[in-house]
Amino acid sequence: MGSNRPLLMTVPSPTTTSSTSIDPELPKSKSSSSNNAFNPFENTLNNSSSSRRSSGSRSNNSIHEVSLSSSGSIKSKPVRYGSKGGADSEGLSMSQRELRDEDARLVYINEPFKTNEAFEFAANSIRTSKYSLLTFIPRNLFEQFHRVAYVYFLIIAILNQLPQLAVFGRTVSILPLAFVLFVTAVKDVYEDWRRHQNDKVENNRLASVMVDGGRSFVEKKWRDVRVGEVIKIKANETIPCDTVLLSTSDPTGVAYVQTINLDGESNLKTRYAKQETHGKEGFGGVIKCEKPNRNIYGFLANMEVDGKKLSLGSSNIVLRGCELKNTSWAIGVAVYCGSETKAMLNNSGAPSKRSRLETCMNSEIIWLSFFLVALCTVTSVCVAVWLKRHKDELNLLPYYRKLDFSEGDVDSYEYYGWGLEIFFTFLMSVIVFQVMIPISLYISMELVRVGQAYFMFQDKRMYDEATKSRFQCRALNINEDLGQIKYVFSDKTGTLTQNKMEFQCASIWGVDYSSKENNSMERDEVVEHSVKVDGKVFRPKMKVKVNPELLQLSRSGLQNVEGKRIHDFFLAMATCNTIVPLVVDTPDPDVKLIDYQGESPDEQALAYAAAAYGFMLTERTSGHIVIDIHGQRQKFNVLGLHEFDSDRKRMSVILGYPDNSVKVFVKGADTSMLNVIDKSFKMDLVRATEAHLHSYSSMGLRTLVIGMRDLNASEFEQWHGSFEAASTAVFGRAVMLHKVSSIVENNLTILGASAIEDKLQQCVPESIESLRIAGIKVWVLTGDKQETAISIGYSSKLLTSNMTQIIINSKNRESCRKSLQDALVMSKKLMSTSDVANNAGGSSHATPVALIIDGTSLVHILDSELEEQLFQLASRCSVVLCCRVAPLQKAGIVALVKNRTSDLTLAIGDGANDVSMIQMADVGVGISGQEGRQAVMASDFAMGQFRFLVPLLLIHGHWNYQRLGYMILYNFYRNAVLVLVLFWAFFDAAGTGLFWLLLLGIIVAALLPRLVVRFVYQYYFPNDIQICREAEKIGYERVVESGHIEMLPI
């Protein structure tokens, strides 16, 4: 069970700390904290609000890492990608400081005219289109004339309008350019028309807005909603704007929302209305909130109602694009509308993308233009010499005589003099030789791209059977860029993983129930636990494999010590979460399914596992939960809940038992849980649990440690008073709640550990390995916790055991600077050590380095002088893993590479939180999975699985680039031959047999490159290892009888 990974490496001085986060607001308890009688049921506290994901972490003893972090006070700074972009970008300071008037906006509840009397707040209409009727023509022409060739042909067409230079018809000279511009404009109009239609549908959706002082609601179009108006949202409706909750259909003010359109997560989140506004018929008061910003994870505000000042946090606001679920209705007040909503501020807009090949063509066309000018100059000089020699013969010479004898009367042709004749000859030569830069090439390129898109669309290797979706080519103008990608930026959840967690094994009281020694895993069986209530059968929606031995022990109940420990372990799994059980109908009316909905897939997996072992969560309210334990329904009062945060790395629930006893169940990362165990706890059990955690981590599983303790009356009263005071504090709430949690989260008894597998998509490790061998760097940018991201990194083979990990978790700019400097020194030392080993004849492989950095550190790095240091460090690393990053920070990381290197970048994701990254990259790929279609709509290409990147880049990308490159070179070569023939004809060959012989030579010369490529290059220069290897994978025969390697036809 031991791991062969090297031991932990540490760097002196800095210590590991985690980014801090704002604890969500807790509803005020209806009971009084001054009650001296110890009765947990009378002092029941409401549930707290939404949490961060309660996920496990990998054992840090099993990885080879360098941790670079330091603590310090958070300083907010106004930056574009960094500030207020991280998951916890403001840290504790947000809850400690009061909003200054210059940094805040005032929102008068149900008084929109008073709120926006200065007309400074945006309306709720949105616009994602690029053009309007007034801006389309100038903007579209500006974008099209980025092609230098179009400027060239425009100059040619203008010259041809002059009578002295009219080599071709005036109208004919304009038609080719006008046709190309028109076709491209029609395509752009169609694409933007679709955006306009989507905007129109969105803006014309209906919302219920309060009128007549709260006596009724009327339907109003979204675009007409204003800041300060009170809105009513019904079940399954989309939130029209960023709204602070005032009341809900739940008696305790709870509302459940789905944020799939915002952050790509389909799990339900809990939001809360303040008790002071919940249930009221009329609403009034004023909200003082921060100005619009991009931070979707935080919200700083306070509300004054009936002379009482209340604090508001991220748990009290629902953002535009979220959907209300499992709640009949919710009422809230609009605080941000339209372009000021957090969702729209994180939308960077649809950029205009041009392929790298077209950019190179612009420079080539400039060089060809210089060559063309040289030819025309030579022609003009020769004309000047010829005019000087024949100046006395011009009256009678054919083609250039001054006198016209055709009408009987002698007339004079217009002759402009020697200087102007030379100048006009130069311009006419430009018109005659214009085919040096072919306008037909651009039309040919578009036709070729259409064919390439058809080949990609028809490729069965990129057809996803699960979703029945084919590959989509949404941007035809960058097909060839697929063959030049050097950096791949990938989301994690839903892109690398299926976002489906499965409970695998458990360690309870030092006993490992994965039982690999006796191969009992092969005997694991799927057991369907069910409960019969009122003649109807209720069973969990998801089936879980169980260990028969552990299942048998769980059924023994409290009859023995071992059974009691297992009972407490599974009770903690069933209760220490924010899961909401929902009843789902089946075709059989007597059978109902219980669907567990929660903010974290980890919590769902643990709840389903507990149900499979007989501990089924059947009911949850803000005050109690009901657990069916092997057929016996037991009700527990929820006296308090401390949500998971990235500082504590654990969560806890305080339960009141029917016998008036109180217990605390805690679960969290091993690094945080093992520090708060009871000092008298048996150390041999701790060591056994640590060994099991190490074993689970080495298999790439996500681990959690579970503990508990009993609370006596005095401890409960101490905690209860502090908890109620902290949950209702206006300022410093996060710090106070953090301190209160330490009252109960100590002296714990370790019950055991759980291991969950985050199922990867098919062939993800193999795909990453293929991309890495091809010389493509893969970076992962995720909003998940650091421990979760590292765990998936090992599962996907992105991280390996021989990598040195450099971890940067810093909370201010100075600590970021020091961490980056230390990391640069460390990476340089590792590179120099590898060079010395190579020179000494040792291993030729350099020590791979992995950089792991969190969103809080990026707040202080992006858009600052530290960016350059981060890029230098990242360029030396084989892998970069960014955790807890906000949508705009993902775009900032892509921009970091784009602005400092000429390499092409590709971003791939599946959720709305990946849109900014997809649009920022040179090539954007959307996964058409389960997380909405925002990523697909914003992407250049769309497909069903991450593994399709391998054939897309290494096969189609290669051939797209090579074929289009050959076609461009061939067109330039062919037209250059034609122009040189015309140039020669200027002198002596025009109208002679030699001229036609030269035209025949053009045909032969035009065919020569094709013959060279077909019969020489393909056999004797197979230097593209990627395409050879990938062609072998798909079964193409490439070895001919002569022994030469034959590549696929071009």
Residue with tokens 């991009």: 294
Q: Which two tokens stand for residue 655?
A: 């339960």
Residue with tokens 């390995």: 769
Residue of 23, 88, 192, 491 marked active site: 491
Helix, coil or strand: residue 727:
helix
**Can you name the residues that pair with 807 across neighbouring β-strands?**
67, 852
Residue with tokens 């650091």: 786
| Alpha helix ranges (H) inside 544-619 | 548-554, 561-575, 601-612
Q: Which two tokens stand for residue 171?
A: 């109208």
Whether 411 sits among the annotated catalytic residues: the reply is: no
Rounded (5°) CA angle 602-608-611: 140
Cβ neighbours of residue 683 closer than 8 Å, sequence gap 6 or more = none
Residue with tokens 């005219």: 113
Among 934, 946, 930, 852, smallest CA distance to 887 is for 934
In whole angstroms, what is the distance from residue 91 CA to residue 80 CA?
18
Element (H, E) at 331: strand 329-336
Give DSSP secondary structure letters for 83-99: TTTSTTTTTTHHHHSPP
Q: Which two tokens stand for residue 170?
A: 């005036």
Contacts of 651-658 with C-beta under 8 Å, sequence gap 24+, read 651/51, 651/54, 651/576, 652/576, 652/741, 652/744, 652/745, 653/575, 653/576, 653/577, 654/711, 654/716, 654/719, 654/744, 655/575, 656/40, 656/41, 656/44, 658/634
Cβ neighbours of residue 1037 closer than 8 Å, sequence gap 6 or more = none
Rounded (5°) CA angle 145-146-148: 80
Handedness of CA 779, 781, 782, 788 (dihedral sign): positive
Cβ-in-10-Å burial (0-12, 13-18, 19+) of 700 comes to buried
Among 749, 743, 562, 751, smallest CA distance to 654 is for 743
**Can you name the residues that pair with 757 across neighbouring β-strands?**
502
Amino acid, res. 178? A
Q: Which two tokens stand for residue 497?
A: 């993983």
For residue 499, is it left (φ>0), alpha (ψ between -120 and 50) or beta?
A: left
Helix, coil or strand: residue 269:
strand
Q: How many other C-beta atoms are found inside a 10 Å radius of the C-beta of residue 984? A: 14
In whole angstroms, what is the distance from residue 930 CA to residue 746 CA?
40
Element (H, E) at 882: strand 879-883
Q: Which two tokens stand for residue 329?
A: 């209705």
Residues serving a catalytic function are 491
